[in-house]
Amino acid sequence: MYLEKLSLTNFKNYEDGRYVFGQEVNVLVGPNGSGKTNLLDAIYFLALSKSAFQSQDALSILHDASYFIIDGTFAEDARMVQITISLQRGQRKVLMADKKPYERISEHIGRFPVVLIAPNDTDLVREHSEERRHFFDGVFSQLDPNYLRDYLMYQQVLKQRNSLLKLFADQDRRNGNQVDDDLLDTYDEPLLDLGQKIHDRRQQFIQEFMPGFKAHYAYLSDGRETVDIQYESDVSNPDFASEFRHFRRRDTVLQRTTMGIHKDDYSFLIGDSSGQTVPLKKFGSQGQQKTFVIALKLAQFDQLRSGKGVKPILLLDDIFDKLDDRRISKLIQQMDEGAFGQLFITDARPERTRELLSKVKADVRFFEIAHA
């Protein structure tokens, strides 16, 4: 599976852009701000129906334009498939395969697997639990349509329950206790059921994920330290359902659901000199944190390759500028050994990239990106 052609209209800083890519290594070079990362984001958007960097689709429309179109041709099972995403300001996004709209956008997720390694990935370590949940949910959703379906349904029920809690809180302030327990039951039951399913899948996924992740970290770090990931969830408590119902009054006062899988976290740990594991965020060096997240993404690549039966498209944004020579050589060695499928690499220093990739046996193509 690979992306053969890409056409952009009014996407970010691209008023009009057309590209034909190679099946192996594609290097996007140009000065900072020219649009290299935006081109990677267009590929990501085409594969996953959303931007890797913008939370709102409309923010990807070129300034002063009223719409954007991303059109690409993927090779899939020896046939070519045209995928088109368009968005008009104020309207819903349209996603089509061979000019036929999907009934649900979720049907597209995972069809063309993609992995992005970007400079801001260390936010997974430094920021709040939402960042880590978002990463793992993205991995799981590309692998398992049932997980994605349950996750989207959970979010919908959660939103409805929170709206009901706000309504009860408003009524409580005006008229005294107005909590309708029977009505809350109609939301709590599906929320608990879906939450348990999602919890069990997350727990299973992380167990399957860990061996590959640890192997990649050991490879990139020359086995200098141990690492671990611990999945943490309210739902792991056998008495979770009764506690969830017990805290209804607190939820009403706070006007939000305070317990559940939407509060889950993943603790990133690294071994210290005494052999104990400690939080990576607090005790890990910048180099260790970078190695940790790259190992995460490479383990994601392995999981998708195993689960989907194809090598995902791998997007490496400014990767050579963020790693030391030892880690760069490790990545290039993997490229040379054919570990990856189609790659896209951005770099503001083309001479450096040409030198680094000069001995790679794969077909390497360079693209000059010069948008203002």
pLDDT band at 59 (very low <50, low <70, confident <90, very high): very high
Q: Evaluate if residue 372 carries a pLDDT over 60.
A: no
**284, 120 in Cβ contact below 8 A?**
no
For residue range 70-121, what is the model confidence (pLDDT) as tens digits?
A: 999 999 888 999 999 999 999 999 999 999 998 888 889 889 999 999 888 8
Q: Evaluate if residue 22 carries a pLDDT over 80.
A: yes
For position 298, what pLDDT does the model report? Answer: 92
For residue range 118-134, what is the model confidence (pLDDT) as tens digits?
A: 888 888 998 889 999 99
Closest CA to 43 of 35, 31, 33, 51: 51
For position 337, what pLDDT does the model report? Answer: 80
Token pair 């001995």 is found at 359
What pairs with residue 345 in β-bridges?
27, 316
What is the pTM assigned to this prediction? Answer: 0.86
Q: Residue 246, class by beta-carbon neighbours within 10 Å (0-12 exposed, 13-18 middle, 19+ buried)?
A: exposed
Has domain 128-304 been given CATH number 1.10.3720.10?
no
For residue range 277-326, what is the model confidence (pLDDT) as tens digits?
A: 899 999 888 888 988 999 999 999 999 999 889 999 999 998 777 677 77
For residue range 161-212, what is the model confidence (pLDDT) as tens digits?
A: 999 988 887 766 556 566 777 888 899 999 999 999 999 999 999 999 999 9
Q: Given 3.40.50.300, 3.40.50.150, 3.40.80.10, 3.30.43.10, which CATH number is that of 1-113+310-372?
A: 3.40.50.300
Q: Evaluate if residue 31 carries a pLDDT over 90.
A: no
pLDDT band at 7 (very low <50, low <70, confident <90, very high): very high
Q: Evaluate if residue 149 carries a pLDDT over 70.
A: yes
For position 174, what pLDDT does the model report? Answer: 59
**Higher-pLDDT residue of 68, 349:** 68
pLDDT band at 220 (very low <50, low <70, confident <90, very high): confident
**57, 31 in Cβ contact below 8 A?**
no
CATH 3.40.50.300 residue window(s) in the chain: 1-113+310-372
For position 371, what pLDDT does the model report? Answer: 64
Question: Coil, strand, or helix at residue 84?
Answer: strand
**343, 24 in Cβ contact below 8 A?**
yes
For position 176, what pLDDT does the model report? Answer: 59
Most confident of 41-45, 51-55, 140-144, 169-173: 41-45
How many percent of the chain have pLDDT more than 90?
Answer: 56
For position 72, what pLDDT does the model report? Answer: 95
For position 168, what pLDDT does the model report? Answer: 81
| Residues 198, 282: Cα–Cα separation, whole Å | 29
For position 348, what pLDDT does the model report? Answer: 83
Mean pLDDT score of the chain: 89
**304, 143 in Cβ contact below 8 A?**
yes
For position 167, what pLDDT does the model report? Answer: 86
For position 249, what pLDDT does the model report? Answer: 85
For position 175, what pLDDT does the model report? Answer: 62
CATH 1.20.1050.90 residue window(s) in the chain: 128-304
For position 177, what pLDDT does the model report? Answer: 62
- Cα angle value 18/353/326 (rounded, 5°): 135
